Structure 1
Amino acid sequence: MRLLKIILVLAVLLAVAGFAGFRYWQAQLDRALSIDAPVVYEVPRGASFNQVVGDLAERGIIAETWSLRLLKRVDAQSLPALRAGEFRLKPGMSAREALVLLGSDNIVSYSLTIPEGWTFAQMRAELNAATKLENRTAAMSDAEVMAELGYPDQYPEGRFFPDTYRYHKGVSDLELLAQAYQRMQRTLESVWAKRDEGLPLKTPYQALIMASLIERETGADGERRKIAGVFTRRLTKGMRLQTDPAVIYGLGDDYNGDISKADLRRETPYNTYLIEGLPPTPIAMPGRAALEAAVNPAEGKALYFVAKGDGSHKFSETLDEHNAAVRRYILNR
């Protein structure tokens, strides 16, 4: 009888000790991280669970490792497999929550914005300067970049859609370029399918060229289709486009901020004061609004326009009206 009492007492003590141990273990798992401000922690590619837990302890982010290692051993299903990447650990988060986060899709992301009207050279400079973006193209020529993307025979200007792109550490500039290229292709195809009949544009690429001219001429929503109408009517009548942004693009590094008479006489493939029709390639990256304007130009009779200096333009039907507008808005200013 005495032995039975002893066994019962021991069993109770063991149960109490086990329960206390379990509660202590759970308390350690729920213990808040030892950080006072958000910390970006990177899980290296190929790192094991024990390596990551040990690193967190060495950095003082968690107080100990045994509770997490035990959890991994007895309840591995409660912890997802770790993902390589950066994660934002926040104050008040528990050690258990931190390990769950490190196996989630909540990777720290960054953004890169390519404005409408930028050139490919400007886009490349932005990619080269982007935070945490793996740069694989800095030493490549434009032609090498296009070959790497799988389009070795294409000129890059205008073929990438201007937008804000999100990425995480480990993503390369080639991946973002591929996204922007495919986005432009899909957008151009969609817009081209809804084009007006009778346009002097025969291919989607010509529409892309036209859209780039429109994009560089104006950023005003209410003017894109008007400018598209002027360009469309001039092409239809066999008139030269005479658009300064194309001339500037053709001058390249020789452009000093002002177009001279000599510049307008310089023979380049982009001098629309000398060449017939469209320039050979786009001169910038147009947005969707410019693409839509290129294939759905506004009706009217205007054949000329000049910048008024306030972001808008004066449209004219005759050369005399246009010359008067030039004197008013350009020469007098």
Structure 2
Amino acid sequence: MIKKIFFTLLLLGLMAAATAAYLWQQLQDYKTEPRVNAETVFTVTSGSHFRQLESQLIEQGLLPTSPYFVWLGRLHPELTPLKSGTYLLQPGWSLEQILQHFVAGETYQFKVTLIEGMTFKQWKSQIEQVEGVVLTGALEDEAALANKLGIEQTKLEGYLQPQTYLFPYNSTDYQVVERAFLAQKAELQAAWEARAKDLPLASPYEALILASIIEKESGHAPERTTIASVFINRLNANMRLQTDPTVIYGMGDRFDGNIRRKDLREATPYNTYVIDGLPPTPIAMPGKDAIWAALNPADTKYYYFVSKGNGEHYFSKNLAEHNRAVRKYILKK
């Protein structure tokens, strides 16, 4: 009788062990089996609990309905403290990898690259095409947006810093602009405090205006401070700046790729062939180097420059030398 009881208990023990082993293996398969077929954007909402996450994963087709999810949380508590945010799940990821990602808080960030020399209108179009940006309509009224940022002017040209930014998924268009504005504000302040002495620039805003012109004229980075010196020398001598990018900006949408003689004579607020001094606003978004060049120009006697056609310029100290350079590099004579 004792032997029968012993063997019965042994059999039940073996069956229990086998069942436990089977369930354990099923749980391991459940957590390690690939679940993501393609790149998937998934948002863990603020305040979500581990059990609530299961229904979200099922709804997005990432999990089948199963009792194992509860047991996974109980046996692996390290996978349960979720961090809210939006995540990018990669193909081939298992449930375990998904949960590890949520616990680590490695939220999905999108990249916005804002390029030097562009206008706000061009940046607006670029920002609106970035996946992950929530469009709130904030970019539709430039003057209202400038006012919201605390800017006195109605135009944002010059106020936003060109660089590559990373933002959490579902950041708003206003947040993108605000961050670029604060970055440019800090950069301009630092450059203004470190500016050279006796510059013909009355304010940081005038420095932005000049920097935007330098940005549009300098295709060759090492020339920035030399180009800056030409404009500074002209301002000090009360000479007009006579720079084509200001003419183009003043023409707006009418510019078709060519500047004609009549365009150079047209009296727009930005045409530096007609107006004295600086135009009323920046004409583009200047980068850090252009701002620092405007406030720390090279020490030269140059008053003119002309494109060599290879991205570089020939600089001249007087009109006669400049005219010879024009004949050589522009007229090819």
- Aligned CA RMSD, in angstroms, stands at 2.7
Q: Which residue of 1 aligns with 2:212?
A: 212
Equivalent residue, structure 1, for 2:90: 89
Question: Does structure 2 conserve the Cα–Cα contact (< 8 Å) formed by 1:80 and 1:100?
Answer: no
SS of the equivalent of 1:273 reads: coil
Offset at 1:257?
A: 1.8
Q: Which residue of 2 aligns with 1:9?
A: 10
Query: What is the Cα deviation at residue 290 of structure 1?
Result: 0.8
CA distance in 2, matches of 1:316, 1:326: 10
CA distance in 2, matches of 1:277, 1:56: 62
Letter in 2 for 1:90: P
Q: Deviations over 1:275-328 (max 9, x none)?
A: 221111111111111111111111121111111221111111111111222222
Specify every segment of 5 or more residues in structure 2 that has no aligned partner in the other structure, as ranges. none
Deviation at 1:229, TM superposition (A): 0.6
Mapped partners of 1:267, 1:119: distance in 2: 21
Note closer, same or farther for the CA distance 1:187–1:153 as it changes in structure 2 (3 Å cut). Answer: same
Cα distance change, pair 185–49 in 1 and its aligned pair in 2 (3 A):
same
Q: Which residue of 1 aligns with 2:66?
A: 65
1:171: Cα distance to partner?
0.8
Q: Deviations over 1:22-73 (max 9, x none)?
A: 62354234432245x5431412635654454235346553355322222335
Matches within 5 A, 1:141-156: 141-151=141-151, 153-156=153-156
The change in CA–CA distance for 1:98 and 1:65 in structure 2 (over 3 A counts) is farther
Tell me the residue number matched to 2:262: 262
Would you say the 8 A contact 1:81–1:103 is kept in 2? yes
Query: Equivalent residue for 1:80?
Result: 81
Flag the 1:252–1:41 CA change in 2: closer, same or farther, 3 A: closer
How big is the shift at 1:331? 3.1
Would the aligned equivalents of 2:264 and 2:273 in 1 still touch at CA under 8 Å?
A: yes
CA deviation profile, 1:126-168 (whole Å, cap 9, x unmatched): 1112222111236722112223434365531110001112224
The corresponding residue for 2:184 is 184
| Number of equivalences | 331
The code of the aligned residue for 2:172 comes to S
Contact 1:83 1:103 in 2 (8 A): no
Identity rate, percent: 37
Distance change (3 Å), C-alpha of 1:153 and 1:231: closer
Alignment TM-score, normalising by the size of structure 2: 0.88
The 2-side partners of 1:257 and 1:101 are apart by: 50
Give the deviation of 1:274 after TM superposition: 1.9
String of CA shifts for 1:245-298, please: whole Å, max 9, x gaps.
Answer: 112111212222222222222212211112221111111111111111111111
Counterpart CA distance in 2 for 1:300 and 1:114 is 32
Moved more, 240-249 or 107-116: 107-116
Residue deviations 1:162-210 (CA, integer Å, cap 9, x gap): 1112224311111110110011011111222221112112221111111
**What amino acid sits opposite 2:13 in the alignment?**
V
> What CA deviation, in whole Å up to 9, does each residue of 1:89-137 have, x standing for no partner?
331x332222222343222332221111111111111111222211123
**2:234–2:240: 8 Å Cα contact kept in structure 1?**
yes
TM-score, length-normalised on structure 1?
Answer: 0.88
Are the aligned partners of 1:146 and 1:152 in contact in 2 as well (CA < 8 Å)?
yes
Output the CA distance in 1 between the equivalents of 2:276 and 2:61. 70
Greater shift, 118-127 or 137-146, is seen at 137-146
Is the Cα contact below 8 Å between 2:272 and 2:278 reproduced in 1? yes
Look up the match of 1:126: 126
CA distance in 2, matches of 1:230, 1:326: 16
What is the alpha-carbon distance in structure 2 between the residues aligned to residue 215 and residue 181 of structure 1?
18
Q: Structure 2 matches for 1:215-254, cutoff 5 A?
A: 215-254=215-254
The structure-2 alpha-carbon separation of the partners of 1:242 and 1:58, relative to structure 1 and needing over 3 Å to count, comes to closer
Q: Does 2:57 align with 1:56?
A: yes
